[in-house]
């Protein structure tokens, strides 16, 4: 091969990689289904019918909020922080509770929220840290940075949404890459797999490479718990499905007597005063912030130095300093997911999109 030919190929490869990092599946790929809601129910059952895990829950005292809950309620403008209920929910398959923050005008009760999350098998659920629930004007929607799940509206009968959002956490924490999300990794393996086929699950899969990966992950969750996904005639995306089953098959599978192998510590977040009403009533000791946190970042903007706890002290896999371009792409992808969820929820214009237009720091 001549030097000029090799140079040309390298230029083409670089251009393809840049395309893969900044775009999503092209319109030329057909959409196999009109959404994945059909996986929630069916004659033989669906994602909504996956047995849940039993739990106990305790409400925290009013006055202080874990930082990610305060951030999404107040800074994002989803709910008055004084109207947030904070609950510790302990599932019978993990001794460390999950932290739920529920706006008191949310259409989902605490039992409904806890039940829905409990239907996610523990090997996947253990990667979710905090859960917030807010009202919506439009349809059920949600967004997830890498571990803080935000739900808008009544998503009680849409387990496909819950599996999709948990999948974003799995994309970040458990896939075979140390450089951010597998779906948008610099090596562009996922985009190459998608482009090798002739279809994607649905139109939403074309929003980004991360969304296409998460939608295929919903299908692999159905395959692991409900039935044979290949019965739907998905040969046009067989490589995508094969990869998802390879990565997530055992993680999605509900296994009897399985327990968590790692967890986020429920008291690790900084506690933030709800606001003046709580402070004036003496619930904040006159401070804006109490306690300390080993975590950096919040909501969708997590820090790579964060640590979870695992059996035998294994904790999280190491996250070295990532390529700045990849880190920038990660933040852009998570911001885009947030905007899409807000617009689906009917939050006029998307609260985050409006803040971007005003030039506010996010």
Instruction: Give the pLDDT score at 350.
Output: 52
pLDDT band at 179 (very low <50, low <70, confident <90, very high): low
Instruction: Give the pLDDT score at 305.
Output: 32
Residue 331 or 74, more confident: 74
Mean pLDDT of 242-254: 95
Please give the share of the chain, as a percent, with pLDDT higher than 90.
58
Mean pLDDT of 4-30: 57
Q: What is the pTM of this model?
A: 0.84
| DSSP H or E run through 115 | helix 110-118
DSSP letter string over 150-196? EEES--TT-HHHHHHHHHHHHHHHTSS-SSS-STT-TT-HHHHHHHT
Residue 343 or 362, more confident: 343
User: What is the rounded distance in angstroms from the CA atom of residue 276 to the CA atom of residue 4?
Assistant: 68
Instruction: Give the pLDDT score at 295.
Output: 34
Residue 290 scores a pLDDT above 60: no
pLDDT band at 352 (very low <50, low <70, confident <90, very high): low
Mean pLDDT of the chain: 82
Task: Give tens-digit pLDDT for 113-169.
Answer: 999 999 999 999 999 999 999 999 888 999 997 688 999 999 999 999 999 999 999
Instruction: Give the pLDDT score at 42.
Output: 85
Residue 242 scores a pLDDT above 90: yes
Residue 217 scores a pLDDT above 80: yes
Task: Give tens-digit pLDDT for 298-340.
Answer: 333 333 233 455 433 334 444 445 567 767 777 888 888 899 9
| Spans of all domains in the chain | 3-46+193-252, 51-171+257-357
User: Which residue's entry shows tokens 């039993």?
Assistant: 54
pLDDT band at 37 (very low <50, low <70, confident <90, very high): very high
130 in Cβ contact with 102 (< 8 Å): no
Instruction: Give the pLDDT score at 28.
Output: 95
* Alpha-carbon separation of residue 285 from 69, 84, 112, 280, 282 (angstroms): 20, 19, 33, 9, 6
Q: By C-alpha distance, which of 248, 245, 235, 222 is closest to 39?
A: 222
Instruction: Give the pLDDT score at 316.
Output: 45
159-173 vs 209-225: helix crossing angle, rounded to 10: 110
């Amino acid at each position: 091969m001549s030097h000029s030919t090799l140079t040309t190929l390298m230029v083409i490869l670089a251009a393809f990689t840049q395309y893969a990092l900044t775009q999503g599946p092209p319109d030329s790929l057909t959409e196999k289904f009109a959404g994945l809601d059909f996986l929630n129910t069916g004659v033989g059952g669906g994602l909504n019918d996956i047995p849940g895990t039993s739990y106990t829950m305790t409400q925290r005292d009013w006055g202080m909020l874990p930082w990610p809950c305060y951030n999404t309620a107040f800074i994002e403008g989803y709910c008055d922080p004084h109207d947030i209920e904070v609950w510790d929910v302990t599932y019978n398959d993990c001794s460390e509770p999950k932290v739920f923050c529920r706006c008191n005008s949310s259409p989902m009760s605490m039992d409904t929220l806890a039940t829905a999350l409990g239907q996610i098998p523990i090997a996947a659920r253990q990667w979710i840290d905090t859960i917030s629930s807010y009202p919506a004007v439009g349809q059920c929607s949600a967004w997830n940075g890498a571990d803080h799940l935000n739900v808008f509206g009544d998503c009680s009968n849409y387990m496909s949404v819950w599996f999709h959002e948990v999948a974003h956490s799995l994309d970040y924490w458990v896939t075979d890459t140390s450089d951010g999300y597998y779906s948008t990794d610099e090596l562009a393996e996922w985009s190459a797999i998608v482009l090798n086929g002739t279809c994607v699950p649905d139109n939403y899969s074309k929003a980004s490479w991360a969304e296409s990966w998460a939608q295929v992950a919903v299908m692999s969750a159905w395959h692991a718990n409900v039935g044979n996904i290949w019965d739907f005639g998905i040969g046009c995306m067989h490589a995508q499905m094969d990869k998802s089953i390879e990565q997530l098959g055992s993680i999605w599978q509900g296994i009897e007597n399985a327990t968590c192998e790692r967890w986020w510590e429920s008291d690790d977040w900084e506690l933030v005063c709800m606001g003046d009403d709580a402070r004036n009533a003496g619930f904040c000791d006159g401070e804006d912030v109490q306690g300390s946190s080993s975590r950096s970042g919040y909501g969708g903007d997590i820090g790579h130095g964060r640590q979870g706890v695992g059996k035998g002290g294994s904790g999280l896999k190491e996250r070295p300093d990532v390529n700045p371009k990849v880190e920038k792409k990660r933040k852009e992808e998570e911001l885009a997911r947030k905007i899409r969820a807000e617009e689906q929820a009917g939050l006029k214009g998307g609260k985050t999109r409006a803040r971007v237009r005003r030039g506010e720091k996010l």
